[in-house]
């Protein structure tokens, strides 16, 4: 992707637009979390729907921080349905994520930047489906993240290795915006799962 040429003024404007939207989106997500304390359990009700739409295999998620909607009840349901579940290992700056097998209740160890992650043990796995956190999303499938670029680099890395993984954002319904600023390295979502159901996006 290094051959993509982007004017510096465009990068500066994009970064400013994303920074402003992140502040707005974080407030909205916090309000949604406060108003919908049962949202994570509702996501778990769509376990079979995900299996029907995206198939069986390895489902990777995340450990929720701040007001992120928790994937843990859904991960538990997927594991109980016989799927391998996994969590990311935080990489060095500029590198893609890797994933280790993990189920709800398994041990965790301290990772970089104050994260928690599965301990060294089982070999890494390649997920078929990645359940990703987000600050906001739009109907075109674009995700507003935290500026780290971990998920975008990971999907690009998978594609370069010939591995296809479906990326499903997990969100409160109120996190949907009319549009999200998009940069040259951003990777779109395949769908978003909200308490109201699965949203297939207009890619």
> pLDDT digit string (tens) for 42-69?
999 999 999 999 999 999 999 999 999 9
User: How many percent of the chain have pLDDT more than 70?
Assistant: 93
- The reported pTM is 0.90
Please, what are the domains in the chain?
Answer: 8-200 (3.40.50.10420)
Tokens 């590198």, residue?
95
Over residues 125-164, the pLDDT tens digits come to 999 999 999 999 999 999 999 877 889 899 999 999 999 9
Q: In what order do the strands lie in the sheet with 98-101?
A: 98-101, 84-89, 58-60, 129-132, 166-170, 191-194, 197-200
Phi-psi region of 10 (alpha: psi -120 to 50; beta: other; left: phi over 0): alpha
What phi and psi, each to the nearest 5 degrees, are found at residue 23?
-60, -45
Q: If pLDDT is split at 50, 70 and 90, which confidence band does 7 have? A: very low
Q: Are 151 and 167 in contact (CB under 8 A)?
A: yes
Alpha-carbon span 96 to 121, nearest angstrom: 20
Report in angstroms the alpha-carbon separations of 145 from 142, 150, 175: 10, 9, 12
What phi and psi, each to the nearest 5 degrees, are found at residue 182?
-120, 130
């Amino acid at each position: 992707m290094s051959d993509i040429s982007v004017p510096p003024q465009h990068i500066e404007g994009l970064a400013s637009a994303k920074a402003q939207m992140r502040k707005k989106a974080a407030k909205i997500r916090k309000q949604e979390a406060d108003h919908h304390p049962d949202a994570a359990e509702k996501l778990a009700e769509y376990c079979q729907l995900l299996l029907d739409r995206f198939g069986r295999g390895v489902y990777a998620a995340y450990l929720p921080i701040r007001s992120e909607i928790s994937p843990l009840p859904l991960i538990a349901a997927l594991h109980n349905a016989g799927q391998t579940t996994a969590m990311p290992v935080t990489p060095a700056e500029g590198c893609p994520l890797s994933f280790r097998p993990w189920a709800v209740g398994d041990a965790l160890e301290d990772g970089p930047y104050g994260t928690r992650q599965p301990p060294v043990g089982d070999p890494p796995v390649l997920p078929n489906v990645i359940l990703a956190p987000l600050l906001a999303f739009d109907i075109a499938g674009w995700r507003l993240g935290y500026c780290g670029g971990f998920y975008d680099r990971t999907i690009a890395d998978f594609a370069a290795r010939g591995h296809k993984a479906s990326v499903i954002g997990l969100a409160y319904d109120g996190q949907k915006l009319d549009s999200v600023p998009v940069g040259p390295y951003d990777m779109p979502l395949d769908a978003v799962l909200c308490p109201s159901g699965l949203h297939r996006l207009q890619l």
